[in-house]
Amino acid sequence: MPKGIYQHKPNQGYQKGHRSFLTEESCIKLSKTAKENGFGKWMTGKKLSEETKRKISEHHKKNGIGKWMKGRNSRESCKFWKGGITPVNTLIRTSIEYKEWRISVFKRDGYACIFCGVKNGNGMTIKFNADHIKPFALFPDLRFNVENGRTLCVPCHRTTDTFGSRIKTYNL
């Protein structure tokens, strides 16, 4: 590709089979003035006349630019919006009691995985999870009981019978 500043030709979006980087064929060479002033800086500090502003406004109205959110509340237009109700699970897991429970479990286990014994230090940084022995969802009365918790590294946590969707097959 020859040296210089290039700009995409109008109406040339990325299409299947086309290269996604700028090539000489898909671009037009900018003028010397554009290179010297820097691409996109040619309008900096210039004021638009009232007539130009009016024409731009008419063009936007005619082509529907800026109408996609008109009259809509951005929250209510989202298909995932549930009226501002935070799920109970999220409220509990972000609570102070839950954070204190996690720290208590980590301290009791000495910040080490109880399955493999791995610890932080010696150039290693291990991510630990405070795992509920009896599942969080099925035993709400044991959620903050330190005896129902254990410290596990992420690989060991993934092997448990209560990790992720395996809770559906958990035997009570």
- What pLDDT is stored for residue 134 in this prediction? 92
- Is 111 part of a structural domain of the chain? yes
pLDDT of residue 10 exceeding 80: no
pLDDT of residue 55 exceeding 60: yes
- Is 77 part of a structural domain of the chain? no
Q: What is the mean pLDDT of residues 35-56?
A: 75
Higher confidence at residue 36 or residue 102?
102
Q: What is the mean pLDDT of residues 81-90?
A: 78
Q: What is the mean pLDDT of residues 21-43?
A: 60
Give me the number of domains the chain comprises: 1
User: Any residues with CB less than 8 A from the CB of 101 and at least 6 apart, and which?
Assistant: 130, 143, 144, 146, 149
Which range in 12-21, 30-39, 61-70, 136-145 is most confidently predicted, on average pLDDT?
136-145
- Is 108 part of a structural domain of the chain? yes
- Is 1 part of a structural domain of the chain? no
pLDDT grade, residue 85 (50/70/90)?
confident
User: Any residues with CB less than 8 A from the CB of 61 and at least 6 apart, and which?
Assistant: none
Q: Evaluate the CA torsion angle 18, 22, 23, 29 in order and state its sign.
A: positive
Per the prediction, the chain carries an average pLDDT of 78
The whole domain housing 99 covers 88-169
The beta strands (E) that lie in 71-168 are given as 128-132, 149-153
- Angle at Cα 11 formed by Cα 7 and Cα 16, nearest 5°? 95
Q: What is the mean pLDDT of residues 75-90?
A: 75
